[in-house]
Amino acid sequence: MSTRKIGPLNEFNTRNVPVNRRTALAQLSAFAGITALTGQALAAPTQQENNNPTVAARKVRKIATEEAFMIPEVAAAVRDVVRKGGANLDIKLLTTVFDSPASATSQDPSKNPPPVSNRDAGARLLLPNLLDLDKGRLANMDGSGVDMHLLSLGLPGVQLFDADQAVGLARLSNDQLSEAIRRHPTRFAGLACFAPQNPREAVKEMERSVNNLQLNGFLVNSHTGNGYLDEQRFWPILEAAEALGAPLYIHPRAPSDGMAAPFRDYRLEGAIWGYGIEAGTHALRLMLSGVLDRFPKLKIVLGHMGEALPFWLWRLDFMGAPGARAGRGNQLKPSEYFKRNFSITTSGVEDPLALRFCIDKLGIDSVMWAIDYPFQPTAPAVAFIESAPLTDEERAKVAHGNAERIFGITT
């Protein structure tokens, strides 16, 4: 496959990104400190301990299910978009990630890594990690004991481009993802991207990705051109996902133009609030429109502990029962759709109380572990799943078993 020059981005060698040793050591030290504080025993656990959900820090196979990557060609296209500017709220973060001076190779993040709390500084150092599908990523995984990344093309995917460009870049991205999996078949699995801008071509790419490339499902970055998947023009995409039996991961992005105004201040548009509100709204549109009655076997995945929807289900049922309002088409309660059609991941939410609630509310078979790499640090996410107050059976399902079943990952 030929490569093309893309300005500063072509300077990144995605096969030889230097390992950030200082960050890796810091993460390992943090993890070691956490496990020491929890009193992890070195001796073999007793049977009673195995069944005791309060026993902390259990080693377990770990498949992280919302892990982003990028290819140089898409990165260059995103850079071109952000340089044109516009009112789209995603432009704020994308400018920092894809068109920041700190993303040049002369800025070695290992020399002066910013604190995790400095989100702006950290965002300027994300691109090398996104582009790396070999040494650096694997070193990060190995440093914290992560067995596998389920990879997906990072925000914004191909959804900001015109239709023809998006179709071509989706195909190229999926090809490069497949190549990375072939290089590291025990470490990577993958979710395909597609171009919702052209639903007919999207369906073709979905079919090729599953049938030819053997990818494990799809990820869409929520709205496209301010449109949501409940709109009839997108139904072929939902029909294809259902027919292929492959999960559709709905990843957040900044709120669409119609809901953007209150999110323009205080950087509310991103992961702190806007992402969850936006993706949760998308999921509710699918439920209340009745689209999930048309596609009852469609499998959808939401990240970030279900974008807060599990905590709202009682009120959603009370207000959203079938026939409660004119203009809705749902035949089931929202909680019934959620339990039938949705699974969630823990990406970016490392709260044991939230995890326990979601398991109890949705069932243990509907919850999967994730990191949200490289936007979230690896070591704390690993410490979270190893020390959360779960039984060994629960931990195994959340950490890897559910992902293997839902995404068809063979080990």
Measure Cα distances from 123 to 101, 119, 375 in Å. Answer: 11, 6, 8
Picking from 140, 201, 147, the residue whose alpha carbon sits closest to that of residue 170 is 201
Asked if 239 contacts 295 with a C-beta cutoff of 8 angstroms, the reply is yes
Asked if 310 contacts 362 with a C-beta cutoff of 8 angstroms, the reply is yes
Q: How many CB atoms lie within 10 A of CB 347?
A: 25
CA distance 255 to 263: 8
Tokens of 117: 């709390």
CA distance 239 to 206: 11
Residue 87 CB burial class (10 angstroms; 0-12, 13-18, ≥19): exposed
CA distance 203 to 222: 17
Tokens of 357: 């609630």
Q: Is 164 annotated as catalytic? A: no
Whether the bond into 389 is cis, omega within 30 of 0: no
CA distance 124 to 114: 10
Measure Cα distances from 12 to 107, 126, 131, 204, 355 in Å. Answer: 12, 12, 8, 31, 38
CA distance 57 to 280: 32
Catalytic residue chosen out of the listed positions 147, 365, 372, 392: 372
| DSSP H or E stretch at residue 306 | helix 304-307
Active centre residues (catalytic): 372
